[in-house]
Structure 1
């Protein structure tokens, strides 16, 4: 089930006795946990009815004993086992059997939450939880859900803005194109903007540009565009700026190759007359990334991009084997784009 379904169930006080919070967005899971605890445990009685296990290799008998203890002056007892405890990934047969047995016949007065950002679907525990319909997916948000999330957060903060500003904010966060970006990071950036505007109720595009400096990935894309467009001076200036900001030549080189690889992939798929949305799905890229590549890369030919990738592979070997200085090699590569 999606976490939105669980939120509705919590409001109706129709929760299951066991849940697996699965997926990378455990930050959202923590918020859902908070709502569940507030709803199911009487105010001021959290210490008596809430147990959180996060130490590695916890005692399974202790966890199950707490789960089977009746709540005190509250509707439910809540037991949370963090991913750091390693309970869902254990191969200990005794622990697996004990936990599996409890999941099949859980206490009706307790809500047990197991957390795992990347659960092993082959595990017996996962299969049992799936049969029980107790898996809550916390996958990365889609563009639509992300924009809705931002809208709700701004409304709670008493702020308003335009769709254009929201879209630019989403682009600058790199959330949709970078697997390492999560909602905690997005919220932190949003809070910075909210704090920046102060008592002003409207957030403008200028506010976003001021508070959120362009990422290295975004600037690398611009550097590639400058170099391939013939503006070598601007490209080299950006390269030197990367070094001043503490980026190493191999890090910049890797990001540069990623951008060229994305351009090549998008160009190849576009030649098959695929729509931008289909290309995004096929290449596992955010739609706005595909749109940006198609807009900026119309003058680049597939054959040229392929030759560039071959040159890059040759240069990579020379830099890593000490045949050429990395900074000199990267500068030469940018000039040859």
Structure 2
């Protein structure tokens, strides 16, 4: 279920005994934790709320708390965080957990306890027995990122509730600059609203000036200058990166990823696919697809392929120490810009 459904259920006192929260959108996770804590009064929380870090605390201790009867209240609330055993990751110094104990508990949970397991990882290991049981038995709550359309709509609604409007182009730019993160976008809204305090309208100029560029965005601009054959601007950007102590190995990796996206979007566009379909197929933000298609519109596939092959060769050279990495990247710019 989504956050809105969870909020409605808890408000109507439709509370289950085991919840499995997945996703990495910190704004949603914080809101979910707040909603569950509201099930208890401040007095009840002192006696009946517990939070366990499962990288350091055993499942035996956590379950022991979960099966305990509540003190002076109707229910006990238990948060289980960092359940590393739901992923394929190997966590150093983590306690070895007997997940069969958790499997047994969720099949027959304590009726007066609400156990909320926060699996805020990028990827879960669906092959594991514990994950299969949690997906099957627990109430699953999605705290993952919103798709670009819903994210833009939600941000627009948030601003509207506060009496502000945002231009469509500015909204798309905000989503792109914050990498489709609702949490990060929320962090930027405060200064944007302050900027537009009089007009109540947030425009592209505001987003450009107030929302910081990510390294990916700056490398995207470097690639723009290279593709446009603006060698002086490309060299200037590159030297700014060097002054910021950004390693050419990192620049090469980002540029490789962006060139790959250019080629992929161009191929799929040539096959007749629209921007939304391409974004869904490549699992990238639609605005990135839009920018990539704009970049590659007047470029020949042969030139893009040659550039991609050279950046792959450059990646190998800088990682294997075949020459000065700063000079090698500079030569790449000179060749294509």
307-316 vs 90-99, greater mean Cα deviation: 90-99
Counterpart residue number, 1:233: 232
1:35 partner SS = helix
Offset from partner CA, 1:4-28 (integer Å, 9 cap, x none): 3222211211021001112223541
Contact preservation (8 Å) 1:157, 1:194: no
Contact preservation (8 Å) 1:192, 1:211: yes
Counterpart residue number, 1:318: 317
Equivalent of residue 168 in structure 2, options 163, 171, 186: 163
Contact preservation (8 Å) 1:50, 1:79: yes
1:238–1:219 distance in 2 versus 1, CA, 3 Å: same
Following the alignment from structure 2 to structure 1, what is the Cα–Cα distance between the partners of residues 75 and 158? 29
The CA RMSD measured in Å over matched residues stands at 2.7
Following the alignment from structure 1 to structure 2, what is the Cα–Cα distance between the partners of residues 95 and 199? 59
2:298 partner SS = coil
Counterpart residue number, 2:51: 52
Counterpart residue number, 2:304: 305
Contact preservation (8 Å) 1:23, 1:119: no
Following the alignment from structure 1 to structure 2, what is the Cα–Cα distance between the partners of residues 245 and 48? 51
TM-score (norm 1): 0.87
TM-score (norm 2): 0.87
Counterpart residue number, 2:31: 31
The Cα shift of 1:112 comes to: 0.1
Contact preservation (8 Å) 1:80, 1:114: yes
Instruction: Report the number of matched residues.
Output: 329
Offset from partner CA, 1:224-266 (integer Å, 9 cap, x none): 2222222111111111122222312111122222221111111
Following the alignment from structure 2 to structure 1, what is the Cα–Cα distance between the partners of residues 328 and 177? 29
1:211–1:317 distance in 2 versus 1, CA, 3 Å: same
Residues 1:218 and 2:221 aligned together: no
1:31 partner SS = helix
1:139 partner SS = coil
Counterpart residue number, 1:115: 118
Contact preservation (8 Å) 1:257, 1:309: yes
Gaps of 5+ in 1: 176-181
Residues 1:295 and 2:277 aligned together: no
1:278–1:59 distance in 2 versus 1, CA, 3 Å: closer
Following the alignment from structure 1 to structure 2, what is the Cα–Cα distance between the partners of residues 52 and 195? 37
Alignment of 1:75-90 (within 5 A): 75-83=74-82, 86=84, 88=86
Following the alignment from structure 2 to structure 1, what is the Cα–Cα distance between the partners of residues 163 and 61? 45
1:24 partner SS = coil
Counterpart residue number, 1:327: 326
1:132–1:230 distance in 2 versus 1, CA, 3 Å: same
287-296 vs 319-328, greater mean Cα deviation: 319-328
147-156 vs 101-110, greater mean Cα deviation: 147-156
Alignment of 1:69-218 (within 5 A): 69-83=68-82, 86=84, 88=86, 95-116=98-119, 117=121, 118-155=123-160, 157=162, 159-175=164-180, 182-194=181-193, 201-218=200-217
Following the alignment from structure 1 to structure 2, what is the Cα–Cα distance between the partners of residues 73 and 45? 7
Following the alignment from structure 1 to structure 2, what is the Cα–Cα distance between the partners of residues 87 and 57? 12
